[in-house]
Amino acid sequence: MLRVSSTARLLIAGQAPGIRVHKSGLPFTDPSGDRLRRWMGIDEAAFYDESRVAIVPMGFCFPGWDKNKGDLPPRRECRAAWHDALMAAMPAVETILAIGVHAQDYHFTRLGLARRKGGGVTELVRRFADFAQARPRVFPLPHPSWRNSGWLKKNPWFEAEVLPAVRQAVERAMA
């Protein structure tokens, strides 16, 4: 689930592994990973190149299901015990893809980036350009899950405006 490297310039900060990923032991080996790689404009070989791409979810294990059979939020003890040390071990990271509210909350707070209260993921993703000068640069992204297909249809600006900027930053970080 965890892929950390002192040379990686790109960090994918996710939520927590789903049950399929938990069983495979490799992050994003599911349709969400396929969609994320399409968003990024890279193939599996590049995506899993630890020397260039770090993958650190907010929770390191499948957190279980809620009453509606959706995944529970990542367990907090992972963040408290490990994340600050992991971020310090990755000094080369220049771009962070912060996927979902839990990763966004942690990285925006850690880097002192302003979030508006009550705006939610949509508002934060829409403001992606506001964070262009941050170092490392953080791209707030919705989760690439099929469950967000409706969100993607309602927000066509995401593909038109955000994804080209993400692909450009990914290409630069992978160079």
Nearest Cα neighbor of 145 from 15, 54, 43, 26 is 15
The predicted pLDDT at position 86 comes to 93
Task: Give how far Cα 67 sits from Cα of 11, 44, 72, 120, 144, Å.
Answer: 32, 33, 9, 23, 22
pTM higher than 0.95, yes or no? no
Domains identified in the chain and CATH numbers:
10-174 (3.40.470.10)
Query: Residue 65 pLDDT more than 80?
Result: yes
pLDDT by residue (tens digit) across 51-64?
A: 999 999 988 877 77
Residue whose token pair is 């000068």: 133
Q: What average pLDDT does the segment 55-83 reach?
A: 82
Q: Could you tell me the pLDDT band of residue 76, with boundaries at 50, 70 and 90?
A: confident
Place of tokens 């015990």: 81
pLDDT at position 120, please?
Answer: 86
- Better-predicted residue by pLDDT, 74 or 162: 162
Q: Tokens at residue 95, please?
A: 């771009």
Q: How confident is the model at residue 168 (pLDDT cuts 50, 70, 90)?
A: very high
Number of other residues whose CB lies within 10 A of the CB of residue 64: 11
